[in-house]
Amino acid sequence: MVATDFDAEREYDDEQFSAQSVFRSDRMKVVLGYFEPGQFIPVHAPDSDVAITVRKGRGVVRDGDDEHTVEPGDVVVVPAGEDRGVKADADRRLEATLVTAPPPTDAEHDPVREGLKRGEFDPRGGD
């Protein structure tokens, strides 16, 4: 069993969002995401489902062409193959649990790395 909490795992990074991995198997990955104001996970579309539960702060979650405003207690599920991304509001931190099943491959995270490198929420030009 894995047992932890947001306080024990909390780690912010001034440069980009921080993802603290708390569990990974062949079937599922669980991370706690910590976002400084305005930080984001760039839009990408891996072949995995994701469930995002917001614990603290406000932001938006991209689901296909839609953006959903999220706040504490909200749960957003984006199916495999759909565009997705997470962005904290410009004026406050965001903390969330992200559960992906199955875990995305390294290659599926290329758009994430590219978006972070270029500072673009949607590295494909949909910003």
Look up the pTM and report it: 0.92
- Burial class of residue 125 (count of CB atoms within 10 Å of its CB; 0-12, 13-18, 19+): exposed
Q: Has residue 66 been placed in a domain?
A: yes
Q: Tell me: the pLDDT tens digits for 4-18?
A: 989 999 999 999 999
Domain contains 14:
yes
Per-residue pLDDT tens over the stretch 107-121:
999 999 999 999 999
Residue 81 pLDDT exceeds 80: yes
The boundaries of the domain holding residue 66 are: 6-109
Nearest to 53 by CA among 82, 86, 21: 86
Which pLDDT tens digit goes with each residue over 54-80?
Answer: 999 999 999 999 999 999 999 999 999
Considering the domain boundaries, does residue 119 fall inside one? no
**What would the pLDDT profile of 21-62 be if each residue is shown by its tens digit?**
999 999 999 999 999 999 999 999 999 999 999 999 999 999
- Beta strand 66-70 with 18-24: parallel, antiparallel or unpaired? unpaired
d(CA 17, CA 55): 15
117: in domain? no
* Residue 70, pLDDT score: 98
For residue 17, tell me if it sits in a domain: yes
Domain-embedded: residue 102:
yes
Contact criterion met (CB below 8 Å) for 65 and 83: yes
Question: What is the number of structural domains in the chain?
Answer: 1
Q: What is the pLDDT of residue 123?
A: 80
pLDDT at 127 (0 to 100): 56
Q: How confident is the model at residue 1 (pLDDT cuts 50, 70, 90)?
A: confident
More confident residue, 124 or 6: 6
Asked if the structure places residue 127 within a domain, the reply is no
* Nearest-5° Cα angle at 100, 98 to 102: 165
The pLDDT, as a whole number, for residue 125 is 67
